[in-house]
Amino acid sequence: MTASELTGAEPTGSTLTGTGHAVAVAHPNIALIKYWGKRDERLVLPFTDSLSLTLDVFPTTTSVRLAPAAEADAVVMDGVPARDERLRRVTAFLDLVRDRAGRRERAVVDTRNTVPVGAGLASSASGFAALALAAADAYGLPTEPRALSRLARRGSGSAARSVFGGFVVWHAGPVDAPDPDVASYAEPVGDARLDAALVAVVLEAGPKSVSSREAMRRTVATSPRYPEWVAASRAELVRMRQALRVGDLDTVGGIAERNALGMHATMEAASPPVRYLTDASATALDTVRALRAEGVGAWATMDAGPNVKVLCAAADAERVAARMRAATHARVVVARGGPGATLRAEAG
Ligand code: PMV
């Protein structure tokens, strides 16, 4: 029996030697207060705290198996061997894990996404959360959730949040922290009282033109609007947490939509500008506004891609989805709050 079987589905407990093989599942999360901009590129430390909802759709399943005889890591993504930048990112992440575990073995990584990769639907969040958990278990690093959140952050910032289920806040950590790597992690928003849904409008499933990494860099370095967005975001996070506590969806939705539009405005002001939103996104946004004008509580949020996610009450989700489908002719998926990253018992 492996350590993952012994510890069940919860990402807790660790072994001194590692299990050698682990399979983990993680879900994407959608930020309602965005992470946009790093104050430290190497450690992936953000300028601001962010707040998200982990979804119950589009899971990523990742297997990490140590291969003591291999000279290089082998990475397969959705059945296709990874190359170039994708392979480099996974290998760099495994190097970090090996370094911490004091191990040298290479690994075979097999990852399966159910979300379109690179289209601003948070595949990197579910991807690196699943990889962090599977690799930590296989190599014998601690898998308690806070340590795992810090580790996942190094792969992709938003992955720090996918370690947990439901509403999650990622603390940027104080700039003068003695160890800033330790001070920046995500944790659940324990007191959120909101039965919300996120309706994902999949306008484009292809990879994005500019990576979020490059777009953030450009925004921080050149957008005159960035400091203003950072200040607004900090205040919005405080107000959103209050609104979540009392289950005030109108306030949560209003803040989320403003925060996302502000993020897109700040990157459009960068040089050269970054524009992820398309005419199809504008149509989706107009539909969300029309729903509101009719008295349906619906608010939009967009990430590093043209796709639009609509926050609404769970009870309104099917009605909102039908309207979004009719207006955009896109694939529309209704998501609710989902679970944190878990180990699958089948590894051995
Ligand atoms: O984790 P990254 O590097 O893919 O950045 C994600 C950034 C956004 O999705 C646009 C916002 C967020 O907070 O998830």
Residue ranges per domain, the chain? 3-191, 196-336
Residue 3 CA to ligand 1 center (angstroms) comes to 32
Say yes or no to pLDDT of 145 above 60.
Answer: yes
Where does residue 161 rank: exposed (0-12), middle (13-18), buried (19+ CB within 10 A)? Answer: buried
Q: Is 34 in the pocket of ligand 1 (CB under 6 A)?
A: yes
Local structure of residue 341 (DSSP, 8 states): -
| Rounded Cα gap, residues 67 and 73, in angstroms | 8
Among the CATH numbers 3.10.310.10, 3.30.230.10, 1.10.490.20, 3.30.565.10, which is that of 3-191? 3.30.230.10
Pocket residue to mutate for ligand 1, from 40, 158, 161, 217, most atoms within 8 A of Cβ:
158
Within 10 angstroms of residue 265's Cβ, the number of other Cβ atoms is 13
Range of weakest confidence among 35-49, 112-126, 186-200: 112-126
Q: Could you tell me where the beta strands, DSSP code E, fall in 143-234?
A: 167-170, 186-188, 196-202
Q: List, for residues 76-120, the tens digit of each pLDDT value.
A: 999 999 999 999 999 999 999 999 999 999 999 999 998 766 555
Mean pLDDT over residues 198-213, rounded? 86
| Rounded Cα gap, residues 297 and 291, in angstroms | 7
Fold of the CATH domain 196-336: Alpha-Beta Plaits (3.30.70)
Bigger pLDDT: 334 vs 119: 334
Q: Which amino acid is at 178?
A: P
pLDDT at 13: 39
Local structure of residue 18 (DSSP, 8 states): -
C-alpha distance across the termini of the chain, in Å: 7
Within 10 angstroms of residue 85's Cβ, the number of other Cβ atoms is 10
In sequence order, what DSSP letters do the residues of 267-294 get, joined into one string? HHTSSS------HHHHHHHHHHHHHHHT
| Rounded Cα gap, residues 90 and 130, in angstroms | 12
Residue 80 CA to ligand 1 center (angstroms) comes to 24
The number of the ligand 1 atom at minimal distance from the alpha carbon of 50 is 13
Q: Is 26 in the pocket of ligand 1 (CB under 6 A)?
A: no
Mean pLDDT over residues 292-304, rounded? 97
Q: Is 31 in the pocket of ligand 1 (CB under 6 A)?
A: yes
Task: Please tell me whether residue 199 adopts helix, strand or coil conformation.
Answer: strand
Contacts of 273 (CB under 8 A, 6+ apart): 267
| Rounded Cα gap, residues 100 and 151, in angstroms | 10
Residue 173 falls in which region: left (phi positive, over 0), alpha (psi -120 to 50) or beta: left
Range of weakest confidence among 13-22, 123-132, 249-258, 268-277: 13-22
pLDDT > 70 fraction of the chain, expressed in percent and rounded: 92
The token duo for 164 is: 């947990």
Cα dihedral across residues 156, 157, 163, 164: positive or negative: negative
Ligand 1 atom 9, closest CA: 303
The number of the ligand 1 atom at minimal distance from the alpha carbon of 303 is 10
